[in-house]
Amino acid sequence: MAVATHFSFPVNYVLSETSRSRVRFDRKLVRAVASGDSVAPAISEETKVKLGGSDLKVTKLGIGVWSWGDNSYWNDFQWDDRKLKAAKGAFDVSLDNGIDFFDTAEVYGSKFSLGAISSETLLGRFIRERKERCPGAEVSVATKYAALPWRLGRESVISALKDSLARLELSSVDLYQLHWPGLWGNEGYLDGLGDAVEQGLVKAVGVSNYSEKRLRDAYERLKKRGIPLASNQVNYSLIYRAPEQTGVKAACDELGVSLIAYSPIAQGALTGKYTPENPPSGPRGRIYTREFLTKLQPLLNRIKQIGENYSKTPTQVALNWLVAQGNVIPIPGAKNAEQAKEFAGAIGWSLTDDEVAELRSLASEINPVVGFPVEYL
Catalytic residues: 108
Residue 183's φ and ψ, nearest 5 degrees, are -70, -35
d(CA 106, CA 115): 11
In sequence order, what E strands does the chain have? 48-50, 57-59, 63-64, 101-103, 140-145, 173-178, 202-208, 229-235, 258-262, 328-330
Residue 152's φ and ψ, nearest 5 degrees, are -125, 140
Q: Are strands 48-50 and 57-59 parallel, antiparallel or unpaired?
A: antiparallel
Closest CA to 345 of 142, 33, 20, 98: 98
d(CA 346, CA 340): 10
Distance of CA 126 to the CA centre of its chain: 18
Q: What share of the chain is helix, strand, coil (3-state, %, to 5)?
A: 40, 15, 45
Whether the Cβ atoms of residue 275 and residue 297 lie closer than 8 Å to each other: yes
Residue 333's φ and ψ, nearest 5 degrees, are -85, 125
Q: Is 235 exposed, middle or buried (0-12, 13-18, 19+ CB in 10 A)?
A: buried
Q: Which residue pairs, CB below 8 angstroms and at least 24 apart, start in 217-224?
A: 217/186, 218/178, 218/186, 218/190, 219/255, 219/257, 221/187, 221/190, 221/191, 222/190, 222/193, 222/194
d(CA 289, CA 275): 9
CA distances from 252 to 54, 220, 230, 331 (A): 14, 13, 10, 17
